Structure 1
Amino acid sequence: MAIILAVMPRSLFAQQASEIPVWLRSHVGEGEGQIAEVVLQRARSLYRQKLSDGSVRNQCYLAMDATRPNDLSNGRLGHRFYVICEASHSFRAVPAGHGSGLDLPGVGDFGNGRQCARNFGNATGSDLTAGGAYVTGETKTSFKGYYRASGARKAVLTRSFVQFDGEGETANARAREIGGHATVKLSGMCLLKDSSSPYANRDGYVPLGTLVDYSGGRSNGCTSWSPSDASQIIALVRNNPTTLYIYPDAADVRGVARAVLAGRPPSSSGLYWNASCLREIRAPKFWSDDQLGPMIARYKEEHPAPPPRPIPICREQ
């Protein structure tokens, strides 16, 4: 497939890239589990471009619409991350978290709620989602600690992280450590004596905590999936890169903000934003690295983080 695309005349390639197959068009729309047409068109265009230049060979590509709601309340999550495999006529929509942003007292609130994201950006240290073009990179798996499973049994938590490599305004994704991972972590950590563990430190202790699944929550700017969805997505891209297009990019955010300020619905200018989230946030904002980065750096310099507290020894062994 990649070889055929490479020799295809450019005009024909562009024409076919814009034509959404009939089976896929049934998934296009703004309802739950559907993908907005502009998001799909950009994701398909990026994928076909990278297929054509040999950057990817994966039979599937990824997309995300970060203008859609995340937490729908009552335990329901919005399906806004898409795994599309055109060769096998496969389309999946799954939940995914967005960047939490920051609230810096005395500087400004650049944070996002659980349901809808208002603030976007590529500023270093901002914990914000930056929309645009990415290619998945290497996968790293790290040990997080142990947690109590059934009864007294302990289980190991390891978490895989897929690095994203961006271009243009997302080119600093690697420096920002932006990627994808499962929505699991350990809280309430203590050190348990277990010299037999391969993860034990030099004193024979391992970290032990409580397993937390924060699906429906937010992240530090990365894309986060439920553990079951993450395992499937990570298996799909491990050692087999593909493209990811995250909507909206900076121009989309700024265009919609201008339309709202002028009192016009974005659709009147050919712009897209999820209607329910736009009602909640009123107008989105994009924070560039040049704009917000120095503010974050100055705040951290003036408000240094306290030294890390040592992890206590577990009371119960």
Structure 2
Amino acid sequence: MRLRSVLLKIANILSLLIIGIALSASLPSFAAAQPSDLPSWLSVHVGDGEGQIAQVVLQRARALYLQKVHEGVVKNPCYFAMDATRPNDLGNGKLGRRFYIICKSNETFRAISAGHGSGRDLKGLADFANGRQCAKNFGNALDSKLTAGGAYVTRETKASFKGYYRVSGKPDAVLVRSFIQFDGEGETANAREREIGGHTAELLRNVCLRKDPHSPYADREGYVPFGQLVDYAGGRSDGCTSWSPSDARQIVTMVKNNPTTLYIYPEAADIDAVARAAAAGQSLSRTRLYWNASCLKEIRSPKFWPKGRLEPILAQYKKDHPPPPQRPTPICKRQ
């Protein structure tokens, strides 16, 4: 029995070493910033509490930003970070703050809410759906609706007309949603192909066509879409980063014609390392790994779905389940 106990201890130590070596070997070069490199005004925001940022997330986000500034890619005095391991929906209408706006010019730090990718449940093939509170599944496959952690740079901003919606006691309002395109590198290099970016967590449901020939958005027959406005800031996205309307307006203003960096945690190497530690029953604090404790308790173990594995499954599901013929948008019953 004593020999067996000794062997188990040795196995655990070896497992810890393997996880540490694998993680350090797979992390990007910009992740080398040390805690002592952080200025005092920024280091006070480091922590695991609400509105704080985990040390590893901040270090990588700051290192990415400084790298892109050095390369001349970015001149914006502010940069972004997101910790997708933190909870989104805290219940009772309260949202978790896990998207960070960091501005070195005026030494400001702000934490806001942001949605994560919903994923999908392909009945009979694969289930990689995420709940509203915590994300378990991550990936970079096309059409997966999953968040992919890693390095991004904000690019062009496009505005698109979605339709009209009713506002109590006021004239009908227009929903024009801005979309900030992200460009990624490494595992996130297909961000443009996936149409991954940032936008307001708003959409129109139950859309019909209303006759309004005087509208600048009217089609050739004089119709415009009209629906019910839905704010899903506490929900999930199609893999993009979504913000509340007020936060989105601020961010769009900050990056329009002035790109900056966004670092999203976790990356595939982080996810795999945490999954191995969880399977071995090891404490993350002892392995020097990071995952939000409350979300890890809920999901038990995270999973990364690489595009090389998931895209063939998605293609097979699409082949087996062709979409129904698209129906024309109905005419509104009440004009």
Q: TM-score, normalised by structure 1?
A: 0.94
**Number of the residue aligned with 1:8:** none
Asked if structure 2 preserves the Cα contact closer than 8 Å seen for 1:17 and 1:44, the reply is no
**Number of the residue aligned with 2:200:** 182
- Looking at structure 1, the residues matched to 82 and 312 of structure 2 have their Cα atoms a distance apart, in angstroms, of 28
**Number of the residue aligned with 1:61:** 79
- Looking at structure 2, the residues matched to 180 and 236 of structure 1 have their Cα atoms a distance apart, in angstroms, of 13
After TM superposition, the structure 1 = structure 2 runs for residues 42-81 of structure 1, keeping only pairs within 5 Å, are 42-81=60-99
User: 1:261 aligned to 2:308?
Assistant: no
What's the offset of the Cα at 1:150?
Answer: 2.7
Q: Deviations over 1:87-133 (max 9, x none)?
A: 21100000000000000001121000000000000011100000000
Structure 1 298/24 Cα, relative in aligned 2: closer, same or farther at 3 Å?
Answer: same
**Number of the residue aligned with 1:9:** none
**Number of the residue aligned with 1:3:** none
Secondary structure of 1:115's counterpart equals coil
Letter matched to residue 77 of structure 1? L
What's the offset of the Cα at 1:151?
Answer: 3.1
**Number of the residue aligned with 2:115:** 97
User: 1:110 aligned to 2:135?
Assistant: no
Structure 1 200/54 Cα, relative in aligned 2: closer, same or farther at 3 Å?
Answer: same
User: 1:155 aligned to 2:173?
Assistant: yes
Asked if structure 2 preserves the Cα contact closer than 8 Å seen for 1:131 and 1:170, the reply is yes
- Looking at structure 2, the residues matched to 25 and 136 of structure 1 have their Cα atoms a distance apart, in angstroms, of 25
Q: Deviations over 1:212-256 (max 9, x none)?
A: 111110000000000000000111011000000000000000000
After TM superposition, the structure 1 = structure 2 runs for residues 242-257 of structure 1, keeping only pairs within 5 Å, are 242-257=260-275
User: 1:194 aligned to 2:212?
Assistant: yes
User: 1:85 aligned to 2:85?
Assistant: no
- Looking at structure 2, the residues matched to 71 and 55 of structure 1 have their Cα atoms a distance apart, in angstroms, of 35
Secondary structure of 2:158's counterpart equals strand
Letter matched to residue 253 of structure 1? I
- Looking at structure 1, the residues matched to 159 and 312 of structure 2 have their Cα atoms a distance apart, in angstroms, of 32
Sequence identity, in percent? 68
- Looking at structure 2, the residues matched to 310 and 24 of structure 1 have their Cα atoms a distance apart, in angstroms, of 53
Structure 1 169/102 Cα, relative in aligned 2: closer, same or farther at 3 Å?
Answer: same
**Number of the residue aligned with 1:165:** 183
- Looking at structure 2, the residues matched to 165 and 126 of structure 1 have their Cα atoms a distance apart, in angstroms, of 18
Bigger mean CA offset, 192-201 vs 146-155: 146-155
What's the offset of the Cα at 1:267?
Answer: 2.2
Q: Which runs of 4+ in 1 moved over 3 A?
A: 14-18
User: 1:293 aligned to 2:311?
Assistant: yes
Q: TM-score, normalised by structure 2?
A: 0.89
What's the offset of the Cα at 1:155?
Answer: 1.1
Asked if structure 1 preserves the Cα contact closer than 8 Å seen for 2:162 and 2:203, the reply is yes
**Number of the residue aligned with 1:134:** 152
- Structure 1 residue runs of 5 or longer lacking an equivalent are 1-13
Asked if structure 2 preserves the Cα contact closer than 8 Å seen for 1:256 and 1:271, the reply is yes
**Number of the residue aligned with 1:215:** 233
Secondary structure of 1:87's counterpart equals coil
- Looking at structure 2, the residues matched to 73 and 121 of structure 1 have their Cα atoms a distance apart, in angstroms, of 26
Asked if structure 2 preserves the Cα contact closer than 8 Å seen for 1:18 and 1:45, the reply is no
**Number of the residue aligned with 1:123:** 141
- Looking at structure 2, the residues matched to 15 and 214 of structure 1 have their Cα atoms a distance apart, in angstroms, of 35
**Number of the residue aligned with 1:205:** 223
Asked if structure 2 preserves the Cα contact closer than 8 Å seen for 1:17 and 1:48, the reply is no
- Looking at structure 2, the residues matched to 140 and 63 of structure 1 have their Cα atoms a distance apart, in angstroms, of 22
Of the two, which has the highest radius of gyration? 2
**Number of the residue aligned with 1:227:** 245
What's the offset of the Cα at 1:152?
Answer: 6.3
Letter matched to residue 252 of structure 1? D
Structure 1 264/17 Cα, relative in aligned 2: closer, same or farther at 3 Å?
Answer: closer
Asked if structure 2 preserves the Cα contact closer than 8 Å seen for 1:83 and 1:92, the reply is yes
- Structure 2 residue runs of 5 or longer lacking an equivalent are 1-31
Bigger mean CA offset, 107-116 vs 307-316: 307-316
Letter matched to residue 260 of structure 1? A
